[in-house]
Structure 1
């Protein structure tokens, strides 16, 4: 059974097997969590991402999918990049968001990762309402068949931490 842990802080400070990056489809870095992971992890992550773009992901990583690279200077073995959906009131994209968590755990299993740190995927610049993002994340991870022993949700601010705490307590 997977243990869910909540941490308020910076995901780049986590000591885990794999850190999940809320990436953009280019895999070449960006703002928010993506930028922080690339800055702290160093150029090795970007080099791996460029290799992926040159081979399997010439058009970028599709939304809801996940792929792993080195973690560079981070205190982890891998970074699992996943592309969350942009929130849209007129279209239910919740299955794509759930897919980010399932696909990241699938990749973690392929890597034999036992501890994985997730951010609140799509809940930043992509505009997903935090309470709903927390619900989807916690429900999906709780239902996943995985060998990952600990999923650590690392939440940057109090609002995110509180939303995830409510979801974990309601289970």
Structure 2
């Protein structure tokens, strides 16, 4: 195992230990509120014993989730610690977005790097909009925002080459506009 891998393993283990400690403290600090909420649900239920238990179980899960989300012990420190861990591990990818993931280049700029997808449907919808505007004698032009990925300037650490093809979706979309004779 290399030094870097060992360092990353140690940092990850420390972060996991801290996460479990924070989780334990959160449970200890919030158990009274959860028990109170669960007991109120059980007491106020007008069903038979099995129905009460099922309803109480469902409600206790919902209330526990809500209570834990609002009252995480050391929430600010946890978030800061997560960011510090990512920095120590030299991570440059944020992959919790719906559109794909974000990358940080060597100049410190953030880039959205989306997944490849079929753009033909969007180009056809835009073509039908173009046809509608032609029918009512109104000029139409589509404007596509520029990408900040500059060949030869935008570089990424750790061998990230995925973003080199970031304009593929745009290129496919533009070719679809060309096929449908839409101004852009």
Q: TM-score range by the shorter chain?
A: under 0.3
* Larger RCO (CA within 8 A; separation ≥ 6): 1
Normalization by structure 2: what TM-score? 0.22
Normalization by structure 1: what TM-score? 0.24
Q: Which has the higher strand share?
A: 1
